Amino acid sequence: MTSHELPLGRPVDYPRHYDPGLLFPIARALGRTALSLPSEGALPFAGHDRWHAYELSWLDARGKPVARTATFTVPAESPNLVESKSLKLYLNSFNATRFDSDAQVRARIADDLAQAAGAAVDVRFGLPPMVGDEDDVLDLDALEVDIDDYGPPNAAYLACVGEIVESRVRSALLKSNCPVTGQPDWAEVRIDYRGPRIEAEGLLRYLVSFRDHAEFHEQCVERIFTDLSTRCRPERLSVEALYTRRGGLDINPWRATPGLSPPAQVRALRQ
């Protein structure tokens, strides 16, 4: 069997020069319509998509390679998200191009991502720290529960009781599939809310029901936020998913009740 006959990824032309045209924007309205969210006007949530880039390099003015990591933050109200493989190819296009300084590269990336997303994008070199010990977070994965439903996402599992609580929960069992490639996407989801207590076993079953579902990372988080808001009507709600990396990138969408401060920037163990 030759390499061309193997059931592996097909060759992709490696970018030889800096090329912002490689970025592929996707209208957020495409996913939000399915959730009955407004295509224009105020959204029921605030938030952002925080990207971590682990494989960023270029040449300095003398041709010596420079290697950096970076964090990009795209506002949720931007009209477009950026498709992840296109972002990978775009960042690879820096590899053989000379730049005078870190500041020039940072400004170039910020301008290009802003053009693709349709809104200002914050670009910083470096990565957030790993998450530390958290005694006040309920780990849903420790629950002993039978599950046999892996999709489509089923909000009927979400049940709430009358007592008002403030609670933080997490699960590393969120999995969905890329709608473009069909490849699996893995994430730790972190939910912080004040409102009627969300029944833990039902919440875990709901999160697992994304397992065979095909949707972009950002859309999955907006679906979780919308379903929890509709079924449980919390006074405040924050949903963040820390996805594992593919192609040297990971993405961390966060959606929350408008007015809430963003959670501390951290990376999960699997990131």
Q: For residue 193, what are the domain limits? A: 138-256
Residue 199: pLDDT band with limits 50, 70, 90: very high
Q: Say which of 19, 60, 122, 178 is annotated catalytic.
A: 178
Residue 9: pLDDT band with limits 50, 70, 90: low
Residue 226 lies in a domain: yes
Q: Report DSSP letters for 95-116, one per residue.
A: TT-B-S-HHHHHHHHHHHHHHH
What is the average per-residue pLDDT within 144-158? 97
Question: Which of residues 125, 147, 178 is at a domain's end?
Answer: 125
Q: What percent of the chain has pLDDT over 70?
A: 95
Contact 162, 196 (CB under 8 A): yes
Is 215 a known ligand-binding residue?
no
Is 218 a known ligand-binding residue?
yes
Q: Are residues 77 and 99 in the same domain?
A: yes
What is the average per-residue pLDDT within 191-214? 97
Residue 135: pLDDT band with limits 50, 70, 90: confident
Residue 194 lies in a domain: yes
Residues 168-197 have pLDDT tens digits of 999 999 999 999 888 999 999 999 999 999
What is the average per-residue pLDDT within 4-13? 56
Q: Are residues 242 and 194 in the same domain?
A: yes
Q: What percent of the chain has pLDDT over 90?
A: 87
Q: Are residues 46 and 146 in the same domain?
A: no
Residue 159 lies in a domain: yes
Residue 3: pLDDT band with limits 50, 70, 90: very low
Residue 205 lies in a domain: yes
Q: Report DSSP letters for 101-157, one per residue.
A: -HHHHHHHHHHHHHHHHTS--EEEES-PPBP---TT-EEGGG--------SS--GGG
CATH, residue 164: 3.30.1130.10
Is 222 a known ligand-binding residue?
no
Residue 132: pLDDT band with limits 50, 70, 90: confident
Q: Are residues 102 and 147 in the same domain?
A: no
- Cβ-based burial of 233 (10 A; exposed 0-12, middle 13-18, buried ≥19): exposed
Q: Are residues 35 and 95 in the same domain?
A: yes
**Comparing C-alpha atoms, which of 207, 223, 147 is closest to residue 173?**
207
Question: Which of residues 125, 146, 167 is at a domain's end?
Answer: 125
Q: Say which of 49, 112, 185, 250 is annotated catalytic.
A: 185
Residue 120 lies in a domain: yes
* 160 is annotated as an active-site residue: no
